[in-house]
Structure 1
Amino acid sequence: FLYVATNTDFINSFDPEVNPYGGGSIIALLASALGTGLKFKLIMLITTVGQIFCVTACLTSCSRMMYAFSRDGAVPGGNLWKKVNKQGVPLNAVIASAVGGAVLTLPALWKSPTGAPTAFYAVVSVCVISLYLAFLIPIYLRLKAGDSFKPGAWTLGSKYKWMCTLAVAEIVVVSIYFILPFTPTGTPGNKDFTWTSVNYAPLVTGGALIILWLWWQLSAKKWFTGPKRTI
Structure 2
Amino acid sequence: MIQGLILLAHPEYAGVMQNWHGTLLLWATILLSYSINTAIGSLLARFEGFVLILHILGFFAVILPLVILGEHGTATDVFGTFLNLGDWQTQGLSLCIGMMGNVFSFLGADGAIHMSEEIRNAAITVPRSLLASLAINGTLGLAMLIATLYSLGDIDTALAENPQYPYMAIFEHAVGSKAGAAVMASIIVVMTISATTGSLASTSRICWAFARDHGLPGWRVLKKVSPRTSIPLYAVLTASCIAVLLSLVNIGDAVAFNGVISISVAGLFGSYFIAAALLLYRRLTGGIRSPKDDNTILTSTIVTGLTWGPWRLRGAFGVANNPFT
TM-score (norm 1): 0.59
Partner in structure 2 of residue 91 of structure 1: 233
Deviation digits for residues 167-209 of structure 1 (CA, Å, limit 9, x no counterpart): 2xxxxxxxxxxxxxxxxxxxxxxxxxxxxxxxxxxxxxxxxxx
Partner in structure 2 of residue 26 of structure 1: 167
Residues 38 and 4 of structure 1: CA distance in aligned 2, closer, same or farther (over 3 Å): farther
Once the two structures are TM-superposed, the CA of residue 89 in structure 1 deviates from its matched residue by: 1.1
Partner in structure 1 of residue 117 of structure 2: none
CA distance in 1, matches of 2:180, 2:313: 44
Gaps of at least 5 residues in structure 2 are 1-77, 84-145, 290-307
Structure with a larger share of its residues in helix: 2
Partner in structure 2 of residue 126 of structure 1: 263
Quick check: 1:15–1:22 contact (8 Å CA) kept in 2? no
Quick check: 1:14–1:22 contact (8 Å CA) kept in 2? no
Quick check: 2:172–2:180 contact (8 Å CA) kept in 1? no
Q: Which has the higher contact order (CA 8 A, sep 6+)?
A: 2
Quick check: 2:226–2:232 contact (8 Å CA) kept in 1? yes
Query: Percent identity of the aligned residues?
Result: 24
Counterpart residue type for residue 83 of structure 1: K
Residue in structure 1 matching 2:276, options 120, 134, 139: 139
Once the two structures are TM-superposed, the CA of residue 109 in structure 1 deviates from its matched residue by: 4.4
Residues 9 and 64 of structure 1: CA distance in aligned 2, closer, same or farther (over 3 Å): same
TM-score (norm 2): 0.43
Once the two structures are TM-superposed, the CA of residue 22 in structure 1 deviates from its matched residue by: 1.8
Once the two structures are TM-superposed, the CA of residue 127 in structure 1 deviates from its matched residue by: 2.6
CA distance in 2, matches of 1:35, 1:21: 16
Counterpart residue type for residue 272 of structure 2: F
Residue in structure 1 matching 2:313, options 156, 159, 162: 156
Residues 100 and 139 of structure 1: CA distance in aligned 2, closer, same or farther (over 3 Å): same
Once the two structures are TM-superposed, the CA of residue 107 in structure 1 deviates from its matched residue by: 2.5
Gaps of at least 5 residues in structure 1 are 112-116, 168-231
Q: Find out whether 1:42 has 2:183 as its counterpart.
A: yes
Quick check: 2:151–2:170 contact (8 Å CA) kept in 1? no
Q: Find out whether 1:108 has 2:284 as its counterpart.
A: no
Q: Secondary structure at the match of 2:236?
A: helix
Alignment of 1:1-231 (within 5 A): 7=149, 10-14=152-156, 19-22=160-163, 25-34=166-175, 37-86=178-227, 87-110=229-252, 118-147=255-284, 148=286, 149-150=288-289, 151-158=308-315, 159-167=317-325
Residues 102 and 4 of structure 1: CA distance in aligned 2, closer, same or farther (over 3 Å): farther
Residues 22 and 46 of structure 1: CA distance in aligned 2, closer, same or farther (over 3 Å): same
RMSD: 3.0
Residues 126 and 29 of structure 1: CA distance in aligned 2, closer, same or farther (over 3 Å): farther
Which structure 1 residue ranges, 4+ long, deviate > 6 Å from structure 2? 3-6
Counterpart residue type for residue 320 of structure 2: W
The number of residues matched between the two structures is 161
Residues 104 and 166 of structure 1: CA distance in aligned 2, closer, same or farther (over 3 Å): same
